[in-house]
Structure 1
Amino acid sequence: MNLDDFSDLIERPDGGVRRDAEEHRERLAVPVGALGRLDELGEWLSAAQQSVPVKAIERPRVVLFAGDHGVAELDVSGRAAGTAHELVRAALDGASPVAVLARRFSVPVRIVDAGLDCDLDLLPESVVRHRVRRGSGRIDVEDALTAEEAEQAVRLGMRVADEEADSGTDLVVLGDLSVGGTTAAATLIAALCGTDASVVTGRGGAGIDDLAWMRKCAAIRDALRRARPVLGDQLELLATVGGADLAAMTGFLLQSAVRRMPVVLDGVVSAACALVAQRAAFRAPDWWLAGQVSGEPAQAKALDRMALTPLLDHGVTVGEGSGALLALPLVQAAAALAAELPERAQEPAEQKTEEQSDDAEPAESTA
């Protein structure tokens, strides 16, 4: 598998439709610019849907990829290593922030176990049936995945994207349920942006103290030494310092762009996967929105590189898709306004000019 092949498969949202959407917006009763960024969102959705006026977002879905990362053994996370299955269980039981928000917004949640480090019988078969491996390797000293596992994980993400597109999902909120995932994500972003570990090291969704931050920074520094020699091959990069969940998310993002299915990114993990996907297919980011500012410095670096401006900045650091899900009503509002606002009434002078133009007889030729 060569991820660069996606570059030939992904097209940008229809530019002609976007121009039609802009012209439609200029005819609405509400003055242009009065709705701020909602105008831009509505026009982006029109181009993605190839529809003017834009269609309502009626079948959104939250998709969360779950996995454990061996680097969490270094105590670089606010959670104990190998406990990502507890995050999954909380989401399934409706006891996590993303579950509460999804219930409030009536959005179904799909959880995909790409690399959890737990027994299969702890979770429903619908969650664990696609698992690539049990936990990812400790990226500071070993590869996260074998080459075969990395390809399997990418293909898993592609398959999930196809299933969502085929089922009629019209927008995806993408997130992760991981322990140690922000360390792997920061390593990927630092490698692709050519920066040092200290620039991208954050405190994670669970929050860590200064000593844990220093351990995390050292782990990213060591992982970066292993990442830099394989920067020319995105699949090998994911195998070296990514993980099963990150590789699956990268495949999901690429295939979603192929299928013209818009995606709202959540925090630093989805941003890292998006940056890898952009490296493979430069048009892919045109199908994504950045849902929120997570406070992670690596996320800011990645979004800046992809020219994606987050929709929200509410200080939400919990991750798990929660921040991106909070942005969903904003996107739905933009679609509703673009579709349902009436056009302004014609001015009498405009009507008279048109009537005169219609009644005027063509001049006779003197030739």
Structure 2
Amino acid sequence: MLYDETLAAIVPPDETAMEAAWKRWDSIAKPLRSLGKLEEMVVRLAGIYRTDRVSLGKKALIPMCADNGVVAEGVTQTGQEVTAIVAENFLHEKSSVAIMCRETGTDIFPVDVGMVTDTAIETHKVAYGTKNLRVEPAMTREEAIATIETGIRKVQELKAAGYGIIATGEMGIGNTTTSSAIAAVLLPAEVETVTGKGAGLTSAGLQTKIDVIKEAIAKHQPDPKDPLDVLAKVGGFDIAGLVGVYLGCAANHLPAVVDGFISGVAALVAVRLNPLVQGYLIPSHVSKEPAGHMIMDALRISPLLTCDMCLGEGTGAVAVLPVIELGLSVYTCMSTFDDIEIDAYQPLN
């Protein structure tokens, strides 16, 4: 099974390459470690690529698109028809992230893993939306694995096509509800602490959302020691697809750029399935959603950007790509102390 094979194929990033990258940084004619997280990111990339000669190659964004049966409970401001509209807009540069992709030279590959509407985007639909998690488990364990494998295959396809870095995104009305449910179980944390207003709920709507999540967790008893059980019972197909992207990136030695809250929750599921995935995560921003910082802390990554964003789609992940490229340009192109024949900076105690 591809799922099991992928989990078994993941190894840690290469420490020797990371040490060589730090040595290169420290030889560059500038104050030591003065580019902070930009230096850390290049070193992280060296470990992922298993070489200190770091090159990103082509850039891709994979937005996983799916609908969630829980919207029947009034946990969202908009209806499921919006999922399909935005998903198709990915193809026509009419969505926020599609415009950002155009401006950053990032190719976008939206995938339908469970929308209730058929559209023009690439389709690997497991079902027409998940079940209403307040009433029954969102999906079966088998459906969760099948969706994860879709994400893995997409990464394999893009690597074969020359893509060297994968940004993660999603589209699915109701997915802050599913993400909050997963976060509450896996962190663990009180539902009130990890649940926000999403795309714009009233205070009364937020309370409904919290109540629905609490009821679902109490009814289905997802096992925090079994991330796949949590994903299947209270998650969504879009999240499952992103779990596959993270696992696929780790197994194929590609960096996966974490977007915001929903993308971060998917990363948390992937890391709980195999802790070595953590070494392949590239942070982008910290979401304005209540659990944004909590997810980052749980993943042991620190955001490069703090923009108070909570749009989703992969907007934060795409926004950080030029920042990473700037750091990489300095790493690759700048003169060393030896080149310009001056004494190197020395570490100070």
Larger radius of gyration: 1
Q: Distance in 2 between matches of 1:229 and 1:93?
A: 39
Amino acid at match of 2:86: L
Give the corresponding residue for 1:65: 64
Q: CA deviation at 1:264?
A: 0.6
CA 1:237–1:3 in structure 2 vs 1: closer, same or farther (change >3 Å)? farther
CA RMSD across the alignment: 2.0
Amino acid at match of 1:305: A
Deviates more, 1:337-346 or 1:61-70: 337-346
Q: Distance in 1 between matches of 2:220 and 2:13?
A: 33
How many equivalent pairs are there?
343
Q: Distance in 1 between matches of 2:22 and 2:210?
A: 46
Deviates more, 1:145-154 or 1:170-179: 145-154
Q: Distance in 2 between matches of 1:11 and 1:203?
A: 38
Q: CA deviation at 1:89?
A: 2.1
Give the corresponding residue for 2:91: 92
Give the corresponding residue for 2:75: 76
Give the corresponding residue for 2:196: 202
Secondary structure in 2 aligned to 1:170? strand
Q: Distance in 1 between matches of 2:30 and 2:19?
A: 18
Q: Distance in 1 between matches of 2:137 and 2:125?
A: 18
Q: Give the unaligned 5+ runs of structure 2.
A: 344-349
Q: Distance in 1 between matches of 2:150 and 2:100?
A: 26
CA 1:52–1:85 in structure 2 vs 1: closer, same or farther (change >3 Å)? same
Whether the 8 Å CA contact 1:75–1:81 is kept in 2: the answer is: no
Give the corresponding residue for 2:149: 155
Q: CA deviation at 1:229?
A: 4.1
Amino acid at match of 1:90: N
The structure 1 segments of at least 4 consecutive aligned residues displaced by more than 6 Å after TM superposition are 1-5, 346-350
Q: Distance in 1 between matches of 2:2 and 2:225?
A: 11
Whether the 8 Å CA contact 1:137–1:243 is kept in 2: the answer is: no
Amino acid at match of 1:270: S
Give the corresponding residue for 1:299: 292
Amino acid at match of 2:272: R
Deviates more, 1:13-22 or 1:76-85: 76-85
Deviates more, 1:286-295 or 1:86-95: 86-95
Q: Distance in 2 between matches of 1:104 and 1:172?
A: 16
Q: Distance in 2 between matches of 1:233 and 1:261?
A: 26
Whether the 8 Å CA contact 1:292–1:312 is kept in 2: the answer is: yes
Q: Distance in 2 between matches of 1:107 and 1:258?
A: 22
CA 1:14–1:200 in structure 2 vs 1: closer, same or farther (change >3 Å)? same
Whether the 8 Å CA contact 1:90–1:96 is kept in 2: the answer is: yes
Give the corresponding residue for 1:309: 302
Whether the 8 Å CA contact 2:257–2:282 is kept in 1: the answer is: yes
Q: Distance in 1 between matches of 2:2 and 2:93?
A: 39
CA deviations 1:218-262 (Å, max 9, x no partner) are 111112224544333322222111122211211221121010110
Amino acid at match of 1:196: E
Secondary structure in 1 aligned to 2:64? strand
Amino acid at match of 1:68: D
Whether the 8 Å CA contact 2:222–2:229 is kept in 1: the answer is: no
Question: Residues 167-178 of structure 1: matches in 2 within 5 Å?
Answer: 167-178=161-172
Q: CA deviation at 1:317?
A: 1.6
Q: Distance in 2 between matches of 1:185 and 1:199?
A: 13
Q: Distance in 1 between matches of 2:276 and 2:60?
A: 23
Identity within the alignment, %: 27
Secondary structure in 1 aligned to 2:337? coil
Q: CA deviation at 1:3?
A: 6.4
Amino acid at match of 1:11: V
Deviates more, 1:307-316 or 1:294-303: 294-303
Question: Residues 242-281 of structure 1: matches in 2 within 5 Å?
Answer: 242-281=235-274
Deviates more, 1:232-241 or 1:180-189: 232-241
Whether the 8 Å CA contact 1:82–1:116 is kept in 2: the answer is: no
Give the corresponding residue for 1:323: 316
Amino acid at match of 2:178: A
CA 1:345–1:97 in structure 2 vs 1: closer, same or farther (change >3 Å)? same
Whether the 8 Å CA contact 2:2–2:149 is kept in 1: the answer is: no
Whether the 8 Å CA contact 1:9–1:258 is kept in 2: the answer is: yes
Amino acid at match of 2:140: T
Secondary structure in 1 aligned to 2:168? strand
Give the corresponding residue for 2:347: none
Whether the 8 Å CA contact 2:222–2:233 is kept in 1: the answer is: no
Q: TM-score, normalised by structure 1?
A: 0.88
Q: CA deviation at 1:109?
A: 0.5
CA 1:342–1:81 in structure 2 vs 1: closer, same or farther (change >3 Å)? same
Give the corresponding residue for 2:26: 26
Whether the 8 Å CA contact 1:71–1:180 is kept in 2: the answer is: yes
Give the corresponding residue for 1:365: none
Q: Distance in 1 between matches of 2:257 and 2:171?
A: 16
Q: Distance in 2 between matches of 1:259 and 1:15?
A: 17
Whether the 8 Å CA contact 2:155–2:249 is kept in 1: the answer is: yes
Whether the 8 Å CA contact 2:63–2:314 is kept in 1: the answer is: yes
Q: CA deviation at 1:7?
A: 5.2
Whether the 8 Å CA contact 1:24–1:53 is kept in 2: the answer is: no
Give the corresponding residue for 1:36: 36
Q: CA deviation at 1:77?
A: 1.7
Q: Distance in 2 between matches of 1:88 and 1:43?
A: 34
Whether the 8 Å CA contact 1:196–1:221 is kept in 2: the answer is: no
Q: Distance in 2 between matches of 1:78 and 1:91?
A: 21
Is 1:345 aligned with 2:338? yes
Secondary structure in 2 aligned to 1:179? coil
